[in-house]
């Protein structure tokens, strides 16, 4: 096959990849947003998108080029001017935005490249939303995927990282598409030759003092001598790992949906239930929870510190994570959230006024009022039921008119179930392994000054039914 035919095939592959990605992710009237730096990759992508938009399948499409000016390189202004001039010649709408790394707060800085990338994606997302777009197209190709996988492997990474870049990823309410990810850069170079696509060269790309450039210019060529189909081989590896990574995420998400309790800005799970999962799924569960709670990037070490806390032989402890997040554990409860979320996870404890509840048939009470964390129900007791409750979640009571439901007070005691002796409620909670941060919000059911029932924990030895009673009440309690 001659060079001309090979180049023509490359053009076909590029345009087919672009058309397939757009057809799969865009609705008929969606605008198309392309991130354009001015280099070979993004200019080829923009040209292919414009060609697709002019074809029958793309009639009426609005194509928008978005250029982000970081001001980091001497030729940054020339890159911007090139993008704007080319878009004008191609009759494509173009917008450019300037960003400054100085805008990144000192505590959030992660290095020049990482900070520039975060700012770039933030601007692209904002521009796409302003244009009413659902997708942003990025020009990463197969050679970029090889570099990414190698770089992450060298740094140390998880399965998620080793799986490389995704051809489609959801973030910031947008789908980020990489239509060229399965193609080698050689195809893009051929496309530019055939179609006369003008582009700018980044003068810093040849500087092998930068690790990414060293991988591209020194490591990848040597690996290609061993495996000429390196882009295809790494792409296949990434695709397989992405499928397995997605499956693990699905399993972990299903567990979180079933077992996690969310309150305000925090989350609680059972440390015991978490421990029953295989270690890889445990990591995924914590990763999902942190993703929901964290405003900053967290690391593998943060996840491991949470799992260490969950599996510790110590019944209580805490770990400081990232961005003010904390993990804390008391007995079986493992909680994650901001420090302020601890109060939310206490079911809004403290300041709950006592509630007087008149007992009648089929009475119900949501407690505390306005922010219920408990549900109480009452019905008439029948002598044939017997005087003993089914569990500590049920109270059988003589025919009193009302009970008072309140929270713990310092010095509270109750009569032991045997009727002999009294015990501090603080010690009762400790014996029952009720976390300290929940005790102040746990309901106490009282008759007069006597604590007669701590739902789910203990029935006091006062105000008991006896076989001589003809009437009484059965009260059930449940946490909601």
Q: Return binding residues for ATP.
A: 37-42
Could you tell me where the DSSP H helices lie in 58-214?
A: 76-90, 112-130, 142-155, 159-162, 185-195, 211-214
> ∠ CA 159-333-389 to the nearest 5 degrees?
135
SS3 assignment, position 141 = coil
Max CA distance (Å), the chain: 105
Cα separation, 350 vs 406, in Å, equals 10
- Could you list the residues known to form a binding site, using ranges: 37-42
- What totals of helices (H) and strands (E) does the chain contain, helices first? 16, 22
What letter would DSSP give residue 301? H
Count the helix, strand and coil residues of the chain and give each as a percent rounded to the nearest 5: 45, 20, 35
What letter would DSSP give residue 55? S
Cα separation, 337 vs 261, in Å, equals 12
Strand partners, 64: 33, 93
Cα separation, 287 vs 137, in Å, equals 27
């Amino acid at each position: 096959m001659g060079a001309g035919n090979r180049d023509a095939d490359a053009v076909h592959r590029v345009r087919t990849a672009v058309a397939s990605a757009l057809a799969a992710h865009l609705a008929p009237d969606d605008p198309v947003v392309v991130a354009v730096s001015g280099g070979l990759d993004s200019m080829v992508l923009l040209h292919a998108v414009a060609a697709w938009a002019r074809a029958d399948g793309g009639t009426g499409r609005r194509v928008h080029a978005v250029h982000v000016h970081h001001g980091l390189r001497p030729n940054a202004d020339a890159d911007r001017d090139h993008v704007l001039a080319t878009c004008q010649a191609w009759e494509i709408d173009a917008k450019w935005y300037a960003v400054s790394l100085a805008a990144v707060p000192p505590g959030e800085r992660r290095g020049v490249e990482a900070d520039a990338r975060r700012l770039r994606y933030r601007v692209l997302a904002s521009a796409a939303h302003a244009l009413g777009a659902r997708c942003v197209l990025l020009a990463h190709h197969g050679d970029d995927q090889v570099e990414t996988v190698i770089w992450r492997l060298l740094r140390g990474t998880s399965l998620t990282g080793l799986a490389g870049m995704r051809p489609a990823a959801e973030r910031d309410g947008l789908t980020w598409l990489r239509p060229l990810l399965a193609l080698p850069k050689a195809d893009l170079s051929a496309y530019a030759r055939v179609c006369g696509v003008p582009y700018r060269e980044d003068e810093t790309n040849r500087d092998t003092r930068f690790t990414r450039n060293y991988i591209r210019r020194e490591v990848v060529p040597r690996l290609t001598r061993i495996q000429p189909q390196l882009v295809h081989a790494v792409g296949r590896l990434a695709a397989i790992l992405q499928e397995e990574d997605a499956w693990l995420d699905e399993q972990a998400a299903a567990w979180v949906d079933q077992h996690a309790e969310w309150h305000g800005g925090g989350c609680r799970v059972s440390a015991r239930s978490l421990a029953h999962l295989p270690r890889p799924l445990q990591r995924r569960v914590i990763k999902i929870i942190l993703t929901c709670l964290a405003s900053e990037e967290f690391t593998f070490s943060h996840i491991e510190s949470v799992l260490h806390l969950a599996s510790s032989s110590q019944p209580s402890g805490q770990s400081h994570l990232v961005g003010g997040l904390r993990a804390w554990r008391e007995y079986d409860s493992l909680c994650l959230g901001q420090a302020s979320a601890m109060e939310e996870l206490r079911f809004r404890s403290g300041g709950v006024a006592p509630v007087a509840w008149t007992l009648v048939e089929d009475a119900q009470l949501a407690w505390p009022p306005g922010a219920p964390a408990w549900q109480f129900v009452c019905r008439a007791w029948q002598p044939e039921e017997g005087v003993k409750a089914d569990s500590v979640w049920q109270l059988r009571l003589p025919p009193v008119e009302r009970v008072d439901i309140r929270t713990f007070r310092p010095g509270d005691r109750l009569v032991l179930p045997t009727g002999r002796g009294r015990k501090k409620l603080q010690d009762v909670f400790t014996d029952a392994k009720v976390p300290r941060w929940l005790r102040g919000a746990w309901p106490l059911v009282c008759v007069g000054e006597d604590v007669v029932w701590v739902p789910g924990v203990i029935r006091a030895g006062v105000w008991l039914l006896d076989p001589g009673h003809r009437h009484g009440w059965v009260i059930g309690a449940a946490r909601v």
